[in-house]
Amino acid sequence: MATFFTSDIHFGHSNLKAFCPETRCGFQTVDKLDQHIIRLWNVKVQTTDTIYVLGDLALSDPKYLDQCLKSLKGRKILVKGNHDKQHLSAYLKHFANVYDTYHEIRIDGQLIVLCHFPIWEWNQIHRGSWHLHGHVHGKPTGVPGKILDVGMDNNTLEVFSLEQVKEFMSTRPVRGATSENIMSRIVHMYDLGHPYTLKEHEVADRVYPGWNNLIRVMLSQLFDAGWEGHLRQIKEKFGTLCVYLARHTDELSPDLSEIIYQAEAESSKTCRECGAPGKLRGGSWLKVLCDTHAGK
């Protein structure tokens, strides 16, 4: 019995070839593409094998999805992605287990963190745990450490075997828990190529890993809008991201203020722990969490 991993199948999603032309454009119809994916899957995966699917199964009608899933070999386990919200009854019967967004497993003692979305810091990162994700369709995330995109578009539409994952992870260093400030690691991580200044004591609170991607987008937009890289403070306040570039907000141009406003608004619906869709929760102590992390 072997173990496999995959993500981002997108059965019935005809528009995806515009986003992934390298892997999905060589097919006349989406049905032929899907049949090709099914053939590749069944060459590797046998009936007694286990395969973890890290989200984004399909954008299709329930009957078509049911037919596709019925054709796939193996004991299938789903960790849901952002597109797995409709037609639940069409695929639940095809999976041994279904988890919301985040799940942890151990194989031969190796801790593996499974999430549809890439995470900056995951459980036991400093002890060599692995993080497998999807969502980005083979695009680089810049996240260092033992992390791998197991999406189909990162493996010529084939599933990843456990042996492939082991071989890849053997080339990746164990990354210690982050100790430097949030701006240092974000600017370095995405090689934004801009000067910046930030004094360590100006970071008032912890900024949670689930917000790293939206901070990265905000920084890029700020630099493009003429920001010189001076940051006064970045923190969590009343449960959401809070950013100050200057001592007073009226010192900022309207363009910079709007970029910050959009990032702060986005944090109010983004899980601070993993980056999945979330909502503001709690009474006296507010937190933005997804359903999975709210239950912990």
Find the range with the poorest average confidence among 119-128, 132-141, 239-248. Answer: 239-248
Q: According to the 3-state scheme, what is the secondary structure of 49-94?
A: CEEEECCCCECCCHHHHHHHHHCCCCEEEEECCCCCCCCHHHHHCC
pLDDT band with cut points at 50, 70 and 90 for residue 262: very high
Return the amino acid letter for 8. Answer: D
pLDDT band with cut points at 50, 70 and 90 for residue 193: very low
pLDDT band with cut points at 50, 70 and 90 for residue 196: very low
pLDDT digits (tens, 9 = 90+) for 10-68: 999 988 878 888 888 889 899 999 999 999 999 999 999 999 999 998 887 888 988 99
Question: Residue 169 pLDDT > 90, yes or no?
Answer: yes
Q: Could you tell me which residue, 151 or 127, shows the higher pLDDT?
A: 151
pLDDT of 26 reads 86
pLDDT band with cut points at 50, 70 and 90 for residue 140: confident
Distance separating alpha carbons of residues 132 and 157, to the nearest angstrom: 16
pLDDT of 215 reads 83
pLDDT of 179 reads 35
**3-169: CATH architecture:** 4-Layer Sandwich (3.60)
Q: Per-domain residue ranges for the chain?
A: 3-169, 182-294
Task: State the average pLDDT over residues 100-118.
Answer: 94
Distance separating alpha carbons of residues 224 and 216, to the nearest angstrom: 12
Write down the mean pLDDT value for the chain: 84
pLDDT of 187 reads 47
Q: Could you tell me which residue, 296 or 275, shows the higher pLDDT?
A: 275
Distance separating alpha carbons of residues 276 and 86, to the nearest angstrom: 17
Which long-range contacts (C-beta less than 8 Å, at least 24 apart) are formed by 262-271?
262/218, 263/214, 263/215, 263/217, 263/218, 264/240, 266/214, 266/241, 267/211, 267/214, 267/240, 267/241, 268/239, 268/240, 270/210, 270/211, 270/214, 271/210
Question: Residue 202 pLDDT > 80, yes or no?
Answer: no
pLDDT of 264 reads 94
Find the range with the poorest average confidence among 54-63, 81-90, 121-130, 213-222. Answer: 81-90
pLDDT of 192 reads 44
Q: Could you tell me which residue, 151 or 177, shows the higher pLDDT?
A: 151
